[in-house]
Structure 1
Amino acid sequence: MSALTPRIAFMLTLPPLLWAGNAVVGRALVGSVPPLALNAMRWWLALALLLPLGWRVLRAPGKIGARWLHLALLGLVGVGSYNALQYLAVQTSTPLNVTLIAASAPVWMLLTGLLFYGERPGARQIGGAALSLAGVALVISRGSLETLRQVTLVPGDLLMLLAIALWSVYSWMLARPPASMRGDDRPAWNWAEFLLVQVLFGTAWATLGAGVEAQVSPAAIIWSPGVVAALVYVAVGPSLIAYRAWGLGVSTVGPAIAAFFSNLTPVFAGVLSAALLGEAPSWYHAGAFALIAAGIVVSSLPRR
């Protein structure tokens, strides 16, 4: 893996900002759009926008077919599952609980690397995880330990826990692909073509989930200009732009370091929520940024 550069740091900072907006939008659409239907519509729209950029990959279906299992799993754990589970989680869980569980991403990244890829975390990674989690805890608790003591688990928390675990698998699959996706054996797909293949499989999974939802708990979509604008945002920002930036960052510095950047999501979410409510950022926002930034620096220091 390569060293962390300012360009890659920017690439890894952009997705948390866009995903923070995604969480805010998902919460705002509760009661207007069923969660799995929202996920499916999001990816269908993203697929339509991505198709003009990556359509050439469809001219060689044999290359996709030869790698269908890996690509189908990528589509399932990365595109089809994570946001579906998050949209489901905010139906029953509180923003505080969901953010706390999402903050465990570095731990899941380290565990996945250790258990399935033989990557032993170093002392700097463990120390960086502690600093980063401390920053997240600071911003979501608003500097109050009493707020953290009042957290209780609900079904949505378990869904979010599953989402984070699957996201760690997705990130490691990007960083450590099978032999058919490495070196000379990898098809000459550019970023749009590779993302299009993932979205194709992911949209199939998302559509299947939405179909099951429609049969089990049917609910009408309450259309409005705000709903349309929200769909456009989640299809372009958290989907196309964020996935492109995240894939580039993970493949460059590895999922363990990239995971620390994901902890910026609740910080950005706190800032966005404060902005939407007309409140100025508080001291704990600055403190959280400092702790999370320290965690990123510590975790990315080269080993002696």
Structure 2
Amino acid sequence: MNQRLTPSTALLLALPPLLWAGNAVVGRLVHELIPPMTLNFLRWVLAFLILLPLAHRVLRRSSRVWPDWKHFALLGLLGVGCYNALQYLALQTSTPLNVTLVASSIPVWMLGVGALCFGQKISRQQMAGALLSVAGVLVVLSRGQWALLVQVRLVPGDVYVLLATLAWAFYSWLLAKPGASPELRSDWAAFLMAQIVFGLGWSGLFAGVEWAVTDAHISWGWPLVAALLYIAIGPAVLAYRCWGMGVQRVGPAIAGFFSNLTPLFAALLSAAFLGEVPHLYHALAFLLIVSGIVVSSRR
């Protein structure tokens, strides 16, 4: 961990934001077809089935998962049960671009959680990068007019996204914590499967509550099936694989800044599939976000 940021590592950390941006757009496209908690649960059921041929040994009684069940139960709650469920919930009342832009506050959460809970020292470069990223978020919230900041009102979706980023910050630091299940960490499929095993319990519980207290329904069809396949293969399996490798190479603090590329990809995908064309102030925000990544990763 904490190696120098190389081009290959940067590419590794840039792929998850692209897949996550697609996840936000797809979540918005199908928000009227399936409830958010149920969408999250079915996503991880499919991911479980995809990984089963590669990591079925995790389910054995002799697996290292069971002695470390508390650790994996917490990872499953934060990364599988909460993060995407809250994002899908946010997309009920907000757009993919807004959701991903509010989520750009994740470097601040990363640094704050690391300093308060994991004894991480914050460098001046990391603090400067975080401030640049926050400035990018403020540019979007103010629509390029600073006087509008005092009039900004968070919609429920924005609050859900902030809760999701907090969960992701804790998840990433726990992911980088050394000493927990080294045998499983050496096998990415087994390590992700261990989280999904417990995460399915959490996400299934949340989906059950959703059906019990709301007027939930599912409109089955090829659009929903295609959406489920995408979010299971791309954002779930591939993105988690690349993110985990990137965090282990450079640490959560630097990796967290790459998550701010998600709004850039979300803007492009939203323009292509939802007709939501970005404005000039979005370009300024993206420039500040990318600058934050560059500044934070410099030695």
TM over 0.5: yes
**Change in CA separation of 1:265 and 1:115 when aligned onto 2, cut-off 3 Å:** same
Q: What is the rounded CA distance, in whole Å, between the counterparts of 2:167 and 2:92 in structure 1?
A: 20
Letter aligned with residue 100 of structure 2 = T
TM-score by length of 1: 0.89
Percent of residue pairs identical: 57
Q: What is the rounded CA distance, in whole Å, between the counterparts of 1:156 and 1:280 in structure 2?
A: 20
Does residue 74 (structure 1) correspond to residue 71 (structure 2)? The answer is no
Q: What is the rounded CA distance, in whole Å, between the counterparts of 1:298 and 1:136 in structure 2?
A: 17
For residue 156 of structure 1, report the CA deviation from its aligned partner: 2.9
Does residue 235 (structure 1) correspond to residue 236 (structure 2)? The answer is no
Q: Match for residue 181 of structure 1?
A: 181
Does residue 5 (structure 1) correspond to residue 41 (structure 2)? The answer is no
Alignment of 1:224-263 (within 5 A): 224-263=221-260
Q: Match for residue 215 of structure 1?
A: 212
The farther-off stretch of 46-55 and 98-107 is 98-107
Alignment of 1:1-304 (within 5 A): 1-59=2-60, 61-95=62-96, 97-138=98-139, 143-145=144-146, 150-177=151-178, 179-182=179-182, 186-187=183-184, 189-277=186-274, 283-284=280-281, 286-302=283-299
Letter aligned with residue 82 of structure 1 = Y
Deviations 1:52-106 (A, max 9, x none): 1212333454411100000110011011110111111222345565334311100
**Change in CA separation of 1:143 and 1:271 when aligned onto 2, cut-off 3 Å:** farther
| Corresponding residue SS for 1:63 | coil
Letter aligned with residue 236 of structure 1 = I
Are the equivalent residues in 1 in contact too, given 2:18–2:265 (CA < 8 A)? yes
Letter aligned with residue 181 of structure 2 = M
Are the equivalent residues in 2 in contact too, given 1:271–1:285 (CA < 8 A)? no
Stretches of structure 2 lacking an aligned partner (at least 5 in a row): none
**Change in CA separation of 1:228 and 1:140 when aligned onto 2, cut-off 3 Å:** farther
The farther-off stretch of 272-281 and 114-123 is 272-281
Q: What is the rounded CA distance, in whole Å, between the counterparts of 2:274 and 2:216 in structure 1?
A: 29
Q: Output the aligned Cα RMSD.
A: 2.3
Deviations 1:173-194 (A, max 9, x none): 01114x3435xxx447411111
Q: What is the rounded CA distance, in whole Å, between the counterparts of 1:152 and 1:136 in structure 2?
A: 14
Are the equivalent residues in 2 in contact too, given 1:72–1:202 (CA < 8 A)? yes
Letter aligned with residue 237 of structure 2 = L
For residue 118 of structure 1, report the CA deviation from its aligned partner: 1.0
Are the equivalent residues in 2 in contact too, given 1:32–1:222 (CA < 8 A)? yes
Q: What is the rounded CA distance, in whole Å, between the counterparts of 1:27 and 1:3 in structure 2?
A: 37
Letter aligned with residue 256 of structure 1 = A
Stretches of structure 1 lacking an aligned partner (at least 5 in a row): none
Deviations 1:182-215 (A, max 9, x none): 5xxx447411111111111111211111111111
Q: What is the rounded CA distance, in whole Å, between the counterparts of 2:274 and 2:84 in structure 1?
A: 25
Are the equivalent residues in 1 in contact too, given 2:90–2:161 (CA < 8 A)? yes
**Change in CA separation of 1:180 and 1:133 when aligned onto 2, cut-off 3 Å:** closer
Give the number of aligned pairs.
298
Letter aligned with residue 208 of structure 1 = L
